[in-house]
Every structure is written in C-alpha cells, then in structure tokens.
Structure 1
Amino acid sequence: MQTSVTARVAPTIQKIMSDFNNGTNPTVNSDTGEKLVSEISRRTLVEDYDYWDMPIAELFKQKKDGNPGFDFHTVTPDGLLLMFGEAKYVANTTAYNSALNQIGKFIKERKDMMDLFEIHRFMPSQTPLENANNNIKGYIAAFSTNGDTDSNIMSKVTGHKNYNILSLYPLFIAIAVDL
C-alpha cells in the first residue's frame, strides 16, 4: 500500500514544488494559490474546529494537477456530514464568485457523488457516506480575498445566486483566505 500511495502522491508533490519554485520565487500563481486556499481552509477546519482530517484531493486523485472534482473533503466533528470543499484563487480580487459558481456546477454534474468512490477509504465511518447518498451533506466555498471587509464578503456570498441552493443543505461554510 505504501508503494501505491508514494506512486500516486509523488507527481503531485513534484508539481507543487515546481509551482513554488523550491521556495525561491514567492509569486503565487493560480494553481499554487488554489492549493494554498484549499490547504489553509482544510487545516483551519481540522485544527481549530475538530473536523475530520483528510488530505486535499490533489494528493490522492488520479490527476497530478487540477483534479476533476471537489478540491478537499472533510467530515463534521459529530461524524455525520460529509463536506465537499471547493477552493478558488484569483489574484487582485475576492474569488467568492468563482467558488460559488463552481460548487453550483459541480452539484448539477453530481461531482460530489462521483468523488465518493475515491474518498470512501478516508471516512471515519460509513455514516457520512450513507448520509451523502441520501442528500444529507454540506459544502464549503473557500476563496482568496484581496483585503475585502468581512461584512462586504458576507454580503457578496449571501447575495450570490447559488447561496439559496447551498443554504438548502444542512451546512454551508464560506471561508475567506487573505493571501
């Protein structure tokens, strides 16, 4: 199993290292920015709010870069809800629109259900998977900000066309990351 994990993760790690230029180039491009937003959001939920710890999708999905589904996944602290996270980075602006649009598109395309095949082995139990299959699940919109105020971000998120759709689910979380 270790050999399989290493074979799958190594190309992604190499891509991330290349994107960061081994630390010598501090410029954040869209790929590295999205990975940063994804990992910062995931770690915040895990470390500060006791959500289930799972690796970002880039590390276990087949593609080494730009996975075809949600960027990260977690389970609520009570172990009931599987959360599907989408991260977006856009330089010089707040990327809430991109994140919320992508989540809406992924829901229509059932990308959340497609992700279950690859994430089931990371689950703490069968409960969040069963709940997700019964449409009891949640979503996370993680996005870069550009010095926007909290109230302005909240106003934009709650005024977005997909907010009403996302608020129908048991839990929707918006995470703004200032890079």
Structure 2
Amino acid sequence: MNVINIQRIDLTHYGLPPHPCVIELDIQISRAQIPTEAMQIITWLQDTSWLATLDDIDKANYRACAEPTIKDLCNMIIKEYLSDSYIPGTLKDDLGEYLVSMNAQEALVQGLTHTKIPIAELWKEQVKGNPGFDFHTLSTSDIIVYGEAKYKSTQNGYYDAFNQIRDFINDNKMQRELRHLRVLATENAARNVLTGQLGFAAAFSVNARNLPHIIENAIKYPTFSALLNYPEVYLITVEIV
C-alpha cells in the first residue's frame, strides 16, 4: 500500500457549507502485489493481540466469535490467491472488499494516527457476512469512525459506499454496535456516539486516473450530504494499478 495523498477538503469550493473535518486519503496498490496483499490480509485477520486487553469473560466471548471467521476467511484467501491455480493480477470482489477495508483502516492509522479497532466480522456472531459497518477506528478526538468499504472492478464505488452509510444511519446501526465498541474502543467514545459525536469513512475503489474529478463527483453525489451531519468525514480512494 502506498498513501499518495492526504488533504483536508474545503467544501466551499463545491458550493457547500464549510465543515470542520472532511479529509481525503488516496491509496495505490500494485496489481502485481495482490498475493502479498493477500498475505497481509491474513496477518491482519490473525492478529488477535486486541484480546489481551479484555477481561476473561469478554476475552472468551470474542475469541469464540473471532476464531471461526478467521479460519474461514484465511482458508478462502489461501485457496484463491496463494495456490498454484491463482492467475496473476486477478482480483475477485470478495478479496477486493477486504483489501479496501484493510488498507483504508491502515491509512487512517498511519496517516492520521487513529487507533485500530478489530474488523467487525471478528466480533459479530456469524462466520462472515457482517450486516453492519466493515471497519472502525478511534480518532485522536476520541471519536469512533464507522467505515464502509466498497470494491468495484470496473466502476468507482463511492455511490454504493455513501448509500450504504445512509441506510445504516437510518437503521441506527451505529447504536446497535455500541455494546461491543464500549469494550473495543473506549467508554467515552461510545458515549460520544449517543450525542452524535461520531465519524464516517467511505472507502471505495477507483478506476479512473482523474482523482480530483472523482472526488468532485463523490461530493456532489446526493447521499454524501448525510455524512456531513457528523463531525468527522473521511473519503478514502483505493486504486489498483
């Protein structure tokens, strides 16, 4: 992963009211390095160091939720991307979405000193198919950032990411995750959510090289405005070159 740009977006340039924190992060991933990225996803999934901070009851609960998912996903990745049958340069939608999630979260951690929270599929009660946000971080303002990742092989995925976040807001998905996040983030950050002090990250693959044009179209997309009611917004583009 290569973070090629981090910048604060001035919404007034697009005819919108000013916002204190709308930040763009642009990432590039080499198509030739997809097997290496696949190995990094396995490492990302298998990192259970976060369990060490929990008490015995929470540790047992989250370990029981995480281990079947880790095993299932790692087996899938090994079979499809780390075997002799892999066709170099190919990327299916399943791994593509994990690639966007992992690198978007890592960009927030490395570029903006956010704190990593384990991906949601490791603490939900199903093997895979998390029916909520894809990734989370804790910002330096003690604000939980809810991330949604979308991968499209031939299109730019911002519209799907924005629409999904809007639907999750309408369904109060943020509050539904609080019983986990008060343990995995901080009590104060979880309480901040109750007063609307939270953030959103829309992470999406891009296929055109004109990033300023893509960002402009994303900002002008109707459901983007739903994110601006909250204090922190992150637009994360992921280009596979």
Pair in the same fold by TM > 0.5: yes
SS in 1 for 2:129: coil
1:157 matched to 2:218? The reply is: yes
Q: Please, which of 82, 95, 106 is the counterpart of residue 23 of structure 1?
A: 82
Q: Which residue of structure 1 aligns with residue 206 of structure 2?
A: 145
Larger-gyration structure (1/2): 2
Identical columns (%): 32
Q: Does the CA-based 8 Å contact 2:181-2:190 persist in structure 1?
A: no
Instruction: Sort the Cα spacing of 1:141 and 1:134 in 2 relative to 1 into closer, same or farther, 3 A.
Output: same
Q: 1:122-145, CA deviations, whole angstroms, 9 ceiling, x for partnerless residues?
A: 11x322111111111111101111
What CA distance in whole angstroms lies between the structure 2 residues aligned with 1:89 and 1:42? 15
What CA distance in whole angstroms lies between the structure 2 residues aligned with 1:129 and 1:142? 22
Structure 2 unpaired stretches of 5+: 1-55
Letter in 1 for 2:72: K
After TM superposition, the structure 1 = structure 2 runs for residues 34-53 of structure 1, keeping only pairs within 5 Å, are 34-53=97-116
1:9 matched to 2:66? The reply is: yes
Letter in 1 for 2:196: N
Structure 1 unpaired stretches of 5+: none
Cα shift at 1:3: 5.0
Q: Which has the higher contact order (CA 8 A, sep 6+)?
A: 2
Letter in 2 for 1:33: G
What CA distance in whole angstroms lies between the structure 1 residues aligned with 2:113 and 2:182? 19
Q: TM-score, normalised by structure 2?
A: 0.68
Moved over 6 A (4+): none
Aligned length: 177
Letter in 1 for 2:82: G
Letter in 2 for 1:170: P
Letter in 2 for 1:23: L
Higher strand share: 2
